[in-house]
Chains A and B, each alone.
Chain A
Amino acid sequence: MRSSVIVFPGSNCDRDVAVALQNFNFKNQMVWHDESNLPKTDLVVLPGGFSYGDYLRTGCIASKSKIIDDIIKHGKKGGLILGICNGFQILIETGLLKGSLLRNKKLKFISKNVYLKVSNVNNKFCSKYGKNQTIKLPIAHNEGNFFTDDDQLKEFEDNDQIAFKYCNKDGFISSISNPNGSSNNIAGILNLEKNILGMMPHPERLIDPILSGEDGSTLFESLLKL
């Protein structure tokens, strides 16, 4: 399994996710945003961070990078793309995923562990999770408030495109367990074909018992199963 982590100026989770991928025996390479050709790869990872200092809109400038054309082609051909945190924001700005990510409802940067319900396990990213399993992952963002109109929300629900929803420890989904104001508690969404996943929580930060949990490991193990 080959993976490519795309590095933008201001990415800061690129090496974390590279370590995670290597732990699970991915053949990983780092790809600088200014390259015009994507090397042969099965999985593209857009890492977290603050690409271009979040200028204009989060992920906006990065979404116009040279490498992006090839990433869009890769995605349209059915290649796997995982966007984490700022990577999710970049995916939204490229148009590969629909919706938008607004500033957190309470205007604060949030860095903490949250509970998530795995809403869709029929995709290559989540196949090893149990349906509706409650997992714990860290979030660390200022613009993670997922927003879209009601028609689009209905479409997401109808097409089973929601991968993760914020919930409490017991798996109960409510506004109290919603850290940032996201519509329908959405923490991660898939495209219609389910080969592109964008998520605000950081699976790469919870892959070792020494870091208080392994719920992130399951995502990488799911990808390996291909």
Chain B
Amino acid sequence: MKISAVVTLKEDVLDPQGKVVNQTLKNMGFDNVVNVRQGKYFEIELNESNSEKAKNTINEICKKLLTNSVIENYTINYK
């Protein structure tokens, strides 16, 4: 089973890289860009056919390793 996880900074955490990308896009003429936040994307292949078990595992992976819960949130996409 292939699962992807997207890790993003929480809303009130400063994201200087996102700010720079945002500013650069504006400089390039993309006037309608309002805001950019940068995050991380993971593709995880699990040897698990039970979707409930897979869900639990991937949540645990996100909580224990992929995110720092002080500053980051995550969302999971099942394919």
Contact = CB atoms under 8 A, between A and B. Distances in A.
A103 B16 contact: yes
B71 A60 contact: no
A210 interface: no
Contacts of A56: 65-66
A107 B68 contact: no
Contacts of A102: 13-14, 71
A201 B13 CA distance: 23
A147 B13 CA distance: 8
B21 to A, nearest CB: 11
B70 interface: yes
A64 interface: yes
B37 to A, nearest CB: 14
A104 B65 CA distance: 22
A100 B66 contact: no
A57 B69 CA distance: 12
B17 interface: yes
A100 B71 contact: yes
A93 interface: yes
A52 B16 CA distance: 23
A149 B20 CA distance: 24
Nearest to A63: B65
Interface in B1-54: 13-14, 16-17, 20
Interface of B: 13-14, 16-17, 20, 65-66, 68, 70-71
